[in-house]
Structure formats: structure tokens, C-alpha cells
Chain A
Amino acid sequence: MSTTIDTKTVKHVAFLVRLGISEGEAQKFSGQFSSIIDYFNMLNEVDTENVPPASDIANAENVLREDAVQPSMSREEFLKNAPQSERGYVKVPTVLGDE
């Protein structure tokens, strides 16, 4: 079985991860993605009935911190790396839409 990841899908996933992408790039990635995903489809041959996902396995559980306040990092230092700031805030262009 062969999977094709068309340019529309490539553009969709590019937007999901907020990646600007040109038409040419979408085409290039489309071909590469198809062969990669095709190869990965080999997982379908593994019987995973009744196999729990490994994401649940951890070195520990209930790793918790006491509810104690630690000092803040310096704002000046934080903002030093920010491309734009104003009056102690990080400044970003207009935000449209919601979240």
C-alpha cells in the first residue's frame, strides 16, 4: 500500500507548525513525505492488540514539588533576549483571532 501526501496536506501541516512554505517547497516535501511515511507504514504489520502504549511508562511517578515560592529571574535579563519590548513587557505585532 502506498501513501501519498499531497501538497495540500503538506501546506496544512506546515501551517499547523506555523512554518511559512512556498509552492516549490510544498512539492519537494510532498514527494519526500510520501516515501518516508510509506516506509513507516511497515508498523502496520506488527500486531499491537492488547499492547499498552509506552508513553505511560516512567522512571517515577508523583514527582511533585512543595508549593514554595522561588525568586524570579531578572526581568532585564529576560527582556535582553526579546526582539522587542516596551515598559517591561514583551512586545509583539498585532494579534488577530483568539485562543
Chain B
Amino acid sequence: MQLTTLTIREAHELLTTKKISSVELTQAMLQRIREIDPKIKSYVTVSEELALEQARKADERIAKGENVTPLTGIPFSMKDCISTRGVRTTCSSKILENYVPQYNATVTNKLAEAGAVLLGKTNMDEFGMGSSCENSAFFNTHNPWDLDRVPGGSSGGSAAAMSAGLATFTIGEDTGGSVRMPAGFCNVTGIKPTYGRVSRYGLIALVSSFDSIGPMSRDAYDCATVLEHIAGHDPHDSTTYNSPVPNYTKHINKPVQGMKLGIPKEYFVAGMEAGVESALQEAIRQFEKLGMEIHEVSLPHTKYGLPVYYLLLFAEASANLARMDGTRFGLSVSENAKDVIDIYLKTRHEGFGDEVKRRIMLGAYALSAGYYDAYYLKAQKVRTLLRRDFESAFSKVDLLLAPTCPTTAFKLGEKTSDPLEMYLSDIYVVATNPAGVPALALPAGFSNNMPVGMQLIGKHLDEQTLFQVAHAYQQVTDWHKQFPNI
């Protein structure tokens, strides 16, 4: 029995029937991390002691049959931008290299309460700024399907860990595709929930109005299981929805016949890799076979999604990262500092990588006197148009289908010299975040032996439909069951 590739519900079954213990499962994961991760480099920190302690407690819970949830005893990893009390949380940045939070993110607390077992924290593009995981200040993460290729970003470590069997599920964070794009590159299922569905308290902010924490897992069912446990109103996050969290898994088997699937024509244009295009076309036929109606729709402002996304990111990130100033936590470069401004200048110069520097400077530019109207405000107005695009499409269809990236995973180093070209790889995933709508990424096949990802985009708070449709698709396909040979 291969413990490291189990789904959550397979593992849950084994745990609750006492065929395995959480400690065994956790040990197996830790062992595989020791063996495989030196090649993949998906973990920044492995919290072995904590994991084993949590696993023991989970086993006690299961033994007593008390308060056992579908996540009790299940080992998971978490993107390194979500605060874990006592466990280093770095955002893959030098500036937070030795930062150990004094408090837990709400998501961390919720998973701990459910009895899940934290294996460690996964690599990412520094502060979530990147699409390939190459902007980590520590090391590159490799795509388990081809070690010369990137896992995607920014939750690249999470996706790679999932794909390589180094966690049973993982928690990613999606600001503009950061869950979906690497999920597509690594052949895993992941969801960016509706903005405000999952608390951001304790998530080290990149773009406060886009950031969405979401799970990645082996299939849609597992995603639904995890989301049920981490979603919901949080009195510490004023932007969370107050509405109750549906029991996604309970209704996941509902039929999808007659549902209307929209194909946004702006997403199927020249520039897409042939293998990606044919995988998507094949998927559309599959949805049709499942009894869904296929409709072409238009999201006319799609091409403006990228500049809107990046301009607002620059602006908000420039403020969000201001607190990394070398005075209360994290790196502090104080040698020969004459006054406190020297600490700021030196700490931030040494602590931030080039991409972070670029973005916060451009953010200051887009917000500064004289440019605010032309850049920040203009982007906020076009953002309204992007939202309206989705609203109008959802007045005609129940959900949308789109690729997660025009290509499969590209080679390490291929795009690092040109920041703009790297930004363009996000073209299909960025528009959802300014609009706040949920989107689920799932495997759609292969092109030249590399995974192809697709995403289902839904109405605000309608994760249920995404789970249902993805689950129906995964009942009749087995792309998501393919594992890389490592």
C-alpha cells in the first residue's frame, strides 16, 4: 500500500478502521520528504516534531472516537505565507528568513482543530510575486513531471509537494492564479475560493483585495472536504462572508446534466500551445457527454485583466510590505546605521529580491501624486468592467471553462530575464481575482508528457457547482490519477 498517494478519504477510511495510524502515515510522508524532496525542493521548513505530536493526538482522538473529522490525522503542507505559531514562516524571502510568528492564522487554527497534521511549509515565489517559484530567495522548486521545468507559481512548492506525494493535501494561496497555474503545471486539483470565503487573518498579505487561500489535493472531492473545514466567517477578517458554508461533499454527486458551461471566446485565441488547445477541446467534449450544454460567451475586457491585476497588485503590495522594516521582526541590517531610515533602506535592499523591489517601486509609482488617476484609479475602474463581464456571462451560463495557462510548464530560467514575459504567463488566471469569483483548476490531460490544466470559473459563492462539475468529470476521466515517475 502506497501511503503517500492516498486521497484524503482513502486515508480517512484506513485511519478510522484502524488499518493505519496517523503516526504511520505521517512517518511515511516524512520519510518520502527526506528521500524525494532533495530533488523537488518543495519544502522550506519541515515541522517534523510538531507533525508527530499532532499525529499522536489525532490517533488518540480516533482511538476515543471523539471529535473525529475527515481531516483528523491527515498530513498536509502549507504555503509559507500562512502564519504558524512557533513554525518559521518566511514567504520565501530573506527578510523573513528567521521569522517565527507569535500567532496562528485562522486557517492554521481551523486545520489544527480539525486534527490535521502539519508536515511543513512549502516554497513559493517571494511574497507570492512570481509565476514559476523561481523568485524564492532560497531555492528553485522543480516540477516533479520534469525536473528541468518549473512547478508554476507562486504556490509552486505546494503543487509540487502534492504532485510528488509529499502531502495528502496542501494549502495554497491564490492572488492571481497562484493556486491554479501551478496546479495545472503539476497535475493536481486546486481551488481559489470566492474572495472572502476563507479568512485571510494571518495570511501575510500580498494583495489584500485579491488574496484567497485555497486547498490543493488529489481530486475535487478532497478539495471540497478541505474547503468545508477552512471556509467561513472570521471576526478577525472584516472581508469574510457571513453566509454559512455549504456541505460541499454532501451534494458533490448531484448530476450535472443540463448545466450550462460557458466557453469564453477570448480565452481560446492564437498563442495557445497546440497540445493545450486539443486537451481543452477534448475536455469540452467530455462535459458535453456528461449532459452539459456548451455555450460560447464573451468576456470582452479579458485582455485588460493583466494590467488591472498587476497595477492593483503593485499598489497594494507596496503598502502591505511596508511593515517589513527591520524594527520589530525579521531581518534587520543595522550595521553603521546613522538613523532609523538607514535601517529601512539597508534592510529592504538586502531583504527583498528584485521582483519584490520592482513591484513595490511600481506600486509607489502607480499611487504617487500625479499618477494615481492614470494608473491606480483607472485600474479600479476597469476592474469594475471585468466584474461586469463575469456578471453578464453568468446571466447566461452556470459556469465557465478556461485553460490555466497557454502552455505547459516552461523550463527553469526560460522567462527569468524578462519580467513582462513572465507576467504574460498569468494571462488566463488573473482576471478572476479582481472579480472575486471562485475558480477550480483540475488536470485536463497531457501535452508532450507534461500536464495540462483547466479551470472552471463560477459565480460568487458558488463553489458547489464547481465541485460538482469537476467531480463528475473526474468520475469519467483519470488524468488526476496520473503520478509522475520520480
Contacts and interface: CB of A to CB of B under 8 A. Distances in A.
For the side of the interface on A, what is the size category? 35 or more
Contacts of A4: none
Contact of A77 (B102, B341, B357, B364): B102
B346 A20 contact: yes
Contacts of A65: 235
Interface in A68-92: 73, 77-78, 80-84, 90, 92
Interface string A15-26: 011111100010
Interface string B381-413: 111110100000000000000000000000000
Interface size class of B (residues with CB under 8 A): 35 or more
Given A53-B383, A73-B102, A93-B343, A18 B348 contact: yes
Nearest to B197: A59
A82 B358 contact: no
A29 B359 CA distance: 10
Contacts of B318: 17
Interface string B82-113: 00000000000000000110110000000000
A95 B346 contact: no
A19 B362 contact: no
Contacts of B63: none
A48 interface: yes
A43 B378 contact: yes
A60 B365 CA distance: 30
Nearest to B342: A93
Interface stretch (B54-62, B179-187, B304-312, B448-456): B304-312
Interface stretch (B114-122, B139-147, B331-339): B331-339
A96 B341 contact: yes
B361 A95 contact: no
Interface in A43-70: 43-44, 46, 48, 51-55, 57-60, 63, 65
A36 B419 CA distance: 8
Contact of B100 (A33, A39, A51, A81): A81
Contact of B385 (A10, A32, A46, A84): A46
Interface in B264-316: 301, 303-304, 307-308, 310-311
Contacts of A51: 381-382, 384-385
User: Of residues A33, A36, A40, A51, which shows the largest number of chain B Cβ atoms within 10 Å of its Cβ?
Assistant: A40
A24 to B, nearest CB: 12
Nearest to B322: A17
A77 to B, nearest CB: 5
With most chain A CB atoms within 10 A of its CB, the pick from B358, B362, B363 is B362
Contacts of A57: 384, 387
A57 B26 CA distance: 43
A21 B15 CA distance: 55
B307 A43 contact: yes
Contacts of A82: 327-329
B368 interface: yes
Given A17-B318, A36-B419, A53-B383, A93 B307 contact: no
Contact of A29 (B103, B357, B380): B357
Nearest to A22: B349
Contacts of B385: 46, 48, 51
Given A35-B420, A83-B327, 14 more contacts: A13-B365, A17-B318, A18-B325, A18-B344, A29-B361, A40-B375, A43-B307, A48-B378, A52-B384, A54-B380, A57-B387, A60-B241, A78-B102, A90-B327
Interface of B: 99-100, 102-103, 195-196, 209, 235, 238-242, 301, 303-304, 307-308, 310-311, 318, 321-322, 325-330, 332, 334, 337-346, 348-349, 352, 357-358, 360-365, 368, 375, 377-385, 387, 419-420, 423, 434
Interface of A: 5, 9-10, 13-14, 16-21, 25, 29, 32-33, 35-37, 39-40, 42-44, 46, 48, 51-55, 57-60, 63, 65, 73, 77-78, 80-84, 90, 92-96
27 contacts: A13-B364, A14-B361, A17-B318, A18-B325, A18-B348, A19-B360, A19-B361, A29-B361, A36-B423, A42-B303, A43-B307, A48-B378, A48-B385, A51-B381, A51-B384, A53-B380, A59-B195, A63-B239, A73-B103, A81-B100, A81-B329, A82-B327, A90-B328, A93-B343, A94-B338, A94-B340, A95-B339
Q: Would you list the 5 A-B pairs with minimal beta carbon distance, nearest first? A: A20-B349, A53-B380, A83-B332, A20-B345, A18-B344
